Amino acid sequence: MKFLFYIFNITLIASFSLQAQNTRISGQIISNIELEGIHVINKTAYRYATTDENGFFIVEGKLSDSLYFSSIQHQPKTIVLTKSVIDSKTLTVTLLESLNELDEVVLGAILTGDLNSDIGNSAAKRPLDFYDLGIPGYTGPRMNLVERRLYEADSGPLIPFGIPPSINIYKLLNMISGRTKMLKKHVKLDKDKQSIQRLSDIVGPLFFINHDLVEDMRMEFYYFCSDDPDFQFRCVNRSDVEVLEYLDEKLIEFKTLQLLEN
């Protein structure tokens, strides 16, 4: 933490020393896909910004500064600030969609059906992927929009291994600005909403066949359950029987709380 604090202070001091020379530039990203949350990094002056839902951003810079544009869904791009950009104080950047494609593999050897044997006999080589090239990539389950934004803001180690040691400036700035915390909250709310929808549409009607609670109070009961720290653990990827048992426990708590409030 002391090292982190030291690096941050050095960055802050350097930023203030260059402030008088910097120009406030208003820009826009042009792309056919998601425009919000694209990183705009002034690698020369240590300035940082992210785009809004329409692709607009504001970043400070001076003549010959290098702006680096990066997101998981786009091909990274670097632009050097020219005199015309500084004079107009505007910038429009077109980004292309990033596609992780694998080359076609042609097998010349006869395959036997024995995996170990076929691997040894095959002349095919594993194609390069984004890990080999050192560019960001994701191979897990398909993420929704909020999860993608969180992944972009918080992916990778804060201090990557290397000599000399470096720092993940994207992750650090998102932590300092509170954007990572906000996105984590949004992801949780989104997951809770999906779980509540399942309770309301599928499990809830079965549960209330044998349990008494007026219909007007049922949605309030579902939200009461979602406030439980164990809500996701007890309701996500669980069988209907397990969820029904959980609802049975929570209904007792809910009715007790109602009695105390009344």
Same domain, 173 and 196: no
Among the candidates 154, 177, 200, a domain finishes at 177
Same domain, 158 and 239: no
Domain-embedded: residue 56: yes
Same domain, 141 and 208: no
Q: Which of 168, 141, 164 is nearest to 152 (CA)?
A: 168
Residues 6-15: tens digit of each pLDDT: 555 555 444 4
Residues 50-65: tens digit of each pLDDT: 888 889 999 988 999 9
List of residues 6+ apart from 94 with CB closer than 8 A: 29, 30, 31
Residues 37/149, Cβ–Cβ less than 8 Å = yes
**Average pLDDT value for residue range 162-175:** 78
Domain-embedded: residue 160: yes
Same domain, 45 and 139: yes
Residue 105 pLDDT class (50, 70, 90 cuts): low
Place of tokens 């076929």: 118
Domain-embedded: residue 118: no
Same domain, 64 and 141: yes
Same domain, 167 and 205: no
Domain-embedded: residue 122: no
Please state the φ and ψ torsions of residue 75, each to the nearest 5 degrees.
Answer: -70, 130
Residues 183-216: tens digit of each pLDDT: 888 777 778 888 888 888 888 888 898 888 998 8
**Average pLDDT value for residue range 163-185:** 81
Domain-embedded: residue 16: yes
Domain-embedded: residue 53: yes
What CATH number is attached to the domain comprising 140?
Answer: 2.60.40.1120
Same domain, 89 and 198: no
Same domain, 168 and 249: no
Measured distance between the N- and C-terminal CA atoms of the chain, rounded to whole angstroms: 49
Same domain, 94 and 138: yes
Task: Specify the pTM.
Answer: 0.40
Q: Which domain holds residue 70?
A: 2-99+132-177
Q: Hey, what's the torsion of the CAs at 129, 133, 137, 138, to 10 degrees?
A: 40
Instruction: Measure the CA–CA gap between 175 and 107, rounded to whole angstroms.
Output: 48
Domain-embedded: residue 185: no
Domain-embedded: residue 38: yes
